[in-house]
Chain A
């Protein structure tokens, strides 16, 4: 369980988050949605201790993120950032192997190798495994980064806009993989999404943020309604029902 209590954050005197309290239960997929600048990425960075906590408290499975040793946390929670750049000249397999670092401190065991091959296969990267990262397209690189986060084998997976650069095929593929690890392996996935329909189709719960506050929170069926969405995004959008599921026509 991720417990966030009274967390506020300001960067260079600009308030980013206001007194957020939120509990994300163990298991399932939680989607964070909201307009640009709502503070979704900042919240995720705070949970993943990439950003030091200013006020309030965050704990994962009872371990406070600001005082627990980093090595312990790295076995519990993995994060994929929105703007991960790979500065180093690395091959895809090498990059994915880094996901095992918290477990093996750099010395690969046979178990690690099996997990790495599985992740490569799951994200359709086996053919690209020997390629250098800087020769890949944006979408392929994104898949490699997601595979690395998967490889870390943590109970909690925090993903910041992982669908960036992915085409429809791989976007759907990734969401199905996330659903699968949440249902099959009991993992907890927290994902920042811009595609509200993806959130509706794959998440168990949607948390909507705006201007540094959580303004709505609930199951997809409660969240994907015209008044709630208008509150969050600032314009009225039609919500249709197809096969009993709400589909937001936000592009019209």
Chain B
């Protein structure tokens, strides 16, 4: 049953990809196709990395309504970026090789995420505390980010300002090649860890009893999540509720939490929503609204529904 549903999801994502590439194709076809293919690669990568990072993060925290972005990981990424600008100055930052810069930002995020979140994950907090801590962390990182923004030179600020808002129309294509390598590596690791993730979802005591070295495994998974968050935030900027929406949908579609099924289902759902949604917006609605806003709207509603309907596990 789950297999059929994954097949349907796969068919839907192929459909959205084809529609994205071919609808309204005119003019210099080779040029347009290339342009669209690059954008497609970026969008699907964002969809997949947010979906997979959210699944892993929820499994590690044992909590289905927190996501990396609710816990402020993307704000942390932006903070790291701003800190780099602050340290190097606007010109120095702009002169850096973008790939090198991105690599540096990914490393900064991994280090900060491990330093801040690991103590919390040692012993699982209950949902309320975790959520509260997440909100506080998110606000803290955003405030630190804007504090730094005020301290730096306005010219330097202009360099990073563009990166602080989600924008599915203007993805950062210059980082694409590097980001693709990182995403694919992370996805391979996540897929290989699917059985371990199943065991981790049982909680630290049971997982330890079954031979998982808890702190090492959780650190590894957190690094994995950080790299995926860095990819999506670098490419389009912070997206608050997209991961929650995608994973909640995927989980209801396949009706299981087993990662061998849930990971591909969530990744495919991510592609369908982002690529399909973007197609719909570009051609169906004449770009009259932004996909980012709509996704956040429905994601926010999904968040509230999950809270109210008591799917608190």
By a beta-carbon cutoff of 8 Å, the part of chain A in contact with chain B is 48-50, 69-75, 78-79, 81, 84-90, 94, 98-99, 101-102, 105-107, 134, 152
Contacts and interface: CB of A to CB of B under 8 A. Distances in A.
Interface string B194-233: 1110110111011011111100000000000000000000
Nearest to B206: A84
A88 B194 contact: no
B161 interface: no
B256 interface: yes
Interface in B234-271: 256-258
A113 to B, nearest CB: 16
B313 interface: yes
B47 interface: no
A115 to B, nearest CB: 15
A153 to B, nearest CB: 12
Given A74-B210, A89-B257, A81 B62 contact: no
B61 to A, nearest CB: 10
Contact of A107 (B195, B201, B210): B195
Contacts of A72: 211
A98 B213 contact: no
Contacts of B195: 101, 105-107
A98 B206 CA distance: 10
Given A87-B202, A89-B313, A94-B258, A106 B196 contact: yes
Contacts of A94: 258
24 contacts: A48-B208, A48-B209, A69-B213, A70-B208, A70-B211, A71-B211, A74-B209, A75-B211, A78-B209, A81-B206, A85-B203, A87-B62, A87-B201, A87-B313, A89-B257, A94-B258, A98-B202, A98-B206, A98-B210, A101-B199, A102-B211, A105-B196, A106-B196, A107-B195
A90 B257 contact: yes
Interface residues of B, number: 21
A137 B59 CA distance: 25
B211 A88 contact: no
A84 B210 contact: no
B309 to A, nearest CB: 14
A106 B198 contact: yes
Contacts of B256: 89
A88 B210 CA distance: 16
B46 to A, nearest CB: 27
Contact of B257 (A70, A79, A88, A152): A88
Given A50-B205, A86-B202, A101-B195, A74 B211 contact: yes
Interface of B: 62, 194-196, 198-199, 201-203, 205-206, 208-213, 256-258, 313
Contact of B203 (A87, A102, A106): A87
A106 B62 contact: no
A101 B199 CA distance: 8
Contacts of B62: 87
Nearest to A85: B203
Contacts of A87: 62, 201-203, 313
Contacts of A134: 313
Given A90-B257, A106-B198, A101 B205 contact: no
Contact of B202 (A50, A73, A88, A152): A88
Given A70-B212, A75-B211, 7 more contacts: A48-B209, A74-B210, A81-B205, A87-B203, A98-B198, A98-B202, A101-B199
Nearest to A106: B195
A98 to B, nearest CB: 6
B52 to A, nearest CB: 18
A88 B205 contact: no
A84 to B, nearest CB: 6
A102 B211 CA distance: 6
B209 A88 contact: no
B203 A152 contact: no
A102 B213 CA distance: 12
Contacts of A70: 208, 211-213
A49 B208 contact: yes
Contacts of B198: 88, 98, 106
B194 to A, nearest CB: 7
A105 B195 CA distance: 7
